[in-house]
Amino acid sequence: MSQIFINGIENLEKLLNDLNTKKFLLVCDASFRFLNIRDTIENIAIPHTVFDAFTSNPLHDDAEKGVKLLLREKCDVIVAVGGGSSLDVAKCIKLDSGISIPIIAVPTTAGTGSESTRHIVVYRNGSKESLGNESVIPDYVLFEPGVLKTLPLYQKKCTMLDALCQGIESYWSVNADVNSRIYSEKAMRLITANMDSYIKENDESAAEKIMEGANYSGRAINISQTTAAHAMSYKLTSMYNLPHGHAVAVCLPEVWSMMLKKDCEGKLTALFCEIAKALGRSTPQDAVEWFKNVLSEYGIKNPSAAGDREHEITLLAESVNPVRLKNNPVQFTESELKEMYGRILK
């Protein structure tokens, strides 16, 4: 399905009127009250009901409470305002309700690109569930980059790194096609060109470009899906309470290095060179080193084991979803997964 992209939060009320909205369900999290777009949304002259009873890395059970509210309040549009967590809850509510209802997504982080994907990430009993289909892709996306001003610096880093990892992983995914590579290359180029101004100088036009780059990374993974770094990250998130982007970013250099090492026949050299070029680096090895330097410069540290390190490495290696690993252009054995986790875990 094709999405409609609109710039500027001031256009939300007109859009809701155009859709003949009688009452909308506003899905947002606790940060909503700090957002500089809050008043514009709350002052819209159309009734709404708020659903905010969920956490970051949301639980499927919480989204089910949102379904009950949607049906009880007879809402006819969902407005999802927030990062990947809020957007995924909104998409999960639509999926589980079984009704055909438009979603307007207003991303407030520049990271997941969830506003343009069919994927939903929710957790049940400490494990990640991957849900979703074409019907949950938001019909409208409303970009308002000014909203990133209140995003805490650490969250800016984590979310932007998620988008960058999505761009890189999408490019090498075995499911990549011409279109996904156009999107992932745009994501890599936009993010690398603007990341320092966005993170270090809080520059507004850089924020706009990072939001655009994050959206391209979402459009890319909507086609190709993510690969081993994402597959390895989910258990790190739940075991060490790491933000999604942080967990992915510490996995990526290990996956990348291991792939370069295993590709001794050079079958993937051209692909890795194209990625390096999109990142502004001269060789694949330079690209990995550059990525590691970005993490150290931004203070994104590897997690420490909480107790029995060897046991935790085994748990982590056993958690990796083999289906997601298959998207990777190089396959890993269980002992290689353990080796990589051994380097990730301090």
Residues of this chain that bind ligand NAD (CB under 6 A): 29-31, 34-35, 56-57, 82-86, 88, 108-109, 111-112, 114, 117, 119-121, 147-148, 150-151, 155, 159, 162, 218, 244-245
Q: How far is the CB of 267 from ligand NAD (least distance, A)?
A: 29
Using the minimum distance from each CB to ligand NAD, give the nearer residue, 57 or 224.
57
Question: Apex CA 209: angle with CA 205 and CA 213, to 5°?
Answer: 170
How far is the CA of 34 from the CAs of 66, 92, 162, in angstroms? 22, 24, 23
Q: Are 258 and 340 in contact (CB under 8 A)?
A: yes
Q: How far is the CB of 309 from ligand NAD (least distance, A)?
A: 25
Using the minimum distance from each CB to ligand NAD, give the nearer residue, 117 or 192.
117
Tokens of 119: 């994927």
Using the minimum distance from each CB to ligand NAD, give the nearer residue, 27 or 276.
27
Q: How far is the CB of 128 from ligand NAD (least distance, A)?
A: 7
Secondary structure E strands in 119-179: 120-124, 127-131, 140-143
DSSP 43: T
Using the minimum distance from each CB to ligand NAD, give the nearer residue, 130 or 331.
130
Instruction: Find residue 106's DSSP bridge partners.
Output: 81
Using the minimum distance from each CB to ligand NAD, give the nearer residue, 194 or 237.
237
CA-nearest of 92, 91, 345, 105 to 242 is 345
Q: How far is the CB of 50 from ligand NAD (least distance, A)?
A: 14
Q: How far is the CB of 341 from ligand NAD (least distance, A)?
A: 19
Walk across the sheet containing 140-143 and list its strands: 4-7, 140-143, 103-107, 77-82, 24-28, 48-51
